[in-house]
Amino acid sequence: MKTIAIVGGGFAGTTLLRALDGRLPADYELLLVSEESYTTFNPMLAEAVGASVFPEQVVAPIRQMIRSARFVMGRVIAVDPRRRTLRCETLAGILDQRFEHLVLAFGNRARLDLVPGLAEHGLALKTVGDAMHIRNMVLRRVARIELETDAAVRARLGHFIVIGGGFSGVETAGELVDCLASIHRYYPRVAARELRVTLLQDQPRLLLELSERLAHAAHTSLAGRGVDVRTNARARAVGERGVMLADSEFLSAATVICTIGTRPNALIERMLLPTERGRIVVNPDLSVAGVPGIWAIGDCALVTNARDGKSAPTTAQFAMREAKCAGANLLATLAARPTRAFSYRTRGSMAAIGRRKGVADILGIPLAGLPAWLLWRAYYLWQMPTLGRKVRIFVEWTWGMFFPNDITHLRFTRSHEHDDGAGANDNRGADARPLARVANGN
């Protein structure tokens, strides 16, 4: 059997999987390799931070998407484009796999070295594990305020700073302020005024991807709910006690969340593929320039949109469209037909900015508030695989609309950690395995 291998289980990889599964010639097999057994709906991570949704509601098990393809949970450590082989670390050891075509769709990684001190004192928001760690951190901060008597320490513990005014930053700030407003009633020794959220954006306005009108609506909504929105405010350094701004103003805070900056996957450098700005250079049909049999889509690829001649943005919407185009081109290549260039006109953009609040630009029609939020949730529900999962999440989301945010501190302390005293003070095990049930494909 000849193999078409896909590396990466994100939006791009799983969309391509569904586009090709069951449609290949009889002498071909489809293989997906991913480090995780689920795909993460990254735009919903902010809602997991704010406890508006549970972690299993922002992931989808890959095995539930498969009809006849093969799935391997493992990390690709080497690719030989000339010999058309890949090597990956799996649960059973090293696996060497030969391929006829290889599609790289492994996205990118969080980057925390853009601001001095951010790597040591900041919290990245890139994965479900990040979201659950931040959520637990927020709950611990509020619980600790109840026990503190020093006013300065209480103020620092209750201040949460979000760096980045793009989609992720705005969504996180909105979710945080709504979460704090919802849960502080359960902490009677914490006053509402002691819980603050600041959003730092080094540009003149928020959400540069959206129109100025919608950016203003988002700004107004956040400010109206108590978020200190600061535009043209650049973080110069991050420390244990807060953030120093470029104008030398110091913001005292115990928690700094970073939603800016990405870096390429280390596999790109080891493959020695043509790159630009850390992304793989591809031809108009999404095949890698000068390397036959290799394709790249999603955040790891530098894709030119034939519709406007500009680089395609690294969003879920474009990643999925690139995957569908790559799937059609792979099938065309196997049938010795000509391929086509990637061309796509965006349908719009959406952002959830808190509990039942959002902004959206759909086909040029601006929406804000509850209608935008409902549309945003409907879109991601539609993307979930299998009818059963859609129904389950719809019921849970509907139920959650009428009740306060969950305040459960999700610890996964094992029995021996209780025995040796680690369970009381050591939180290393609390956030390490928040998705054990989902990761096992259940």
Q: What is the pLDDT of residues 245-254, one digit of tens each?
A: 999 999 999 9
The pLDDT, as a whole number, for residue 433 is 40
* Average pLDDT of the segment spanning 299-326: 94
Q: Where are the domains of the chain?
A: 2-109+263-334, 118-260+353-400
Q: Which of 102-116, 404-418, 428-442 has the highest mean pLDDT?
A: 102-116
- Fold match flag (2-109+263-334 vs 118-260+353-400): yes
Domain spanning 2-109+263-334 has what CATH number?
3.50.50.60
Q: What is the dihedral of CA 256, 261, 267, 272, to 10 degrees?
A: -150
Give 187-245 pLDDT, tens digit per residue: 999 999 999 999 999 999 999 988 899 999 999 999 999 999 999 999 999 999 999 99
- Strand 228-231 to 279-281 pairing: unpaired
Counting every residue written for the chain, the total comes to 442
The pLDDT, as a whole number, for residue 403 is 77
Q: Among 83-92, 265-274, 353-362, 418-427, which is the least confidently predicted range?
A: 418-427
DSSP states along 200-226: EESSSSS-TTS-HHHHHHHHHHHHHTT
The pLDDT, as a whole number, for residue 78 is 94
Give, in degrees to the nearest 5, the angle at Cα 71 between 90 and 125: 75
The pLDDT, as a whole number, for residue 432 is 39
3-state DSSP assignment of residue 270: helix
- For residue 284, pLDDT over 60 is answered with yes
Is the Cβ–Cβ distance between 62 and 71 less than 8 Å? yes
Is the Cβ–Cβ distance between 378 and 372 less than 8 Å? no
The pLDDT, as a whole number, for residue 421 is 58
Is the Cβ–Cβ distance between 275 and 281 less than 8 Å? yes
The pLDDT, as a whole number, for residue 430 is 40
Q: Which of 288-292, 376-380, 384-388 has the highest mean pLDDT?
A: 288-292
Neighbours of 56 (CB within 10 A): 20
Give 84-124 pLDDT, tens digit per residue: 999 999 999 999 999 999 999 998 888 888 899 999 999 99
The pLDDT, as a whole number, for residue 395 is 85
Q: Which of 18-27, 384-393, 420-429 has the highest mean pLDDT?
A: 18-27
Q: CA–CA separation, 209 vs 423, rounded Å?
A: 44
pLDDT band for position 441 (cuts 50, 70, 90): very low
List own/partner pairs for 74-77 with CB under 8 A and 24 or more apart: 74/33, 74/34, 74/35, 75/35, 76/7, 76/33, 76/106, 76/267, 77/267, 77/270
The pLDDT, as a whole number, for residue 406 is 74
The pLDDT, as a whole number, for residue 419 is 65
Give 153-184 pLDDT, tens digit per residue: 999 999 999 999 999 999 999 999 999 998 88
pTM above 0.85, yes or no: yes
* Average pLDDT of the segment spanning 363-382: 89
Q: Which CATH class is domain 118-260+353-400?
A: alpha beta
Give 419-434 pLDDT, tens digit per residue: 665 544 444 434 434 4
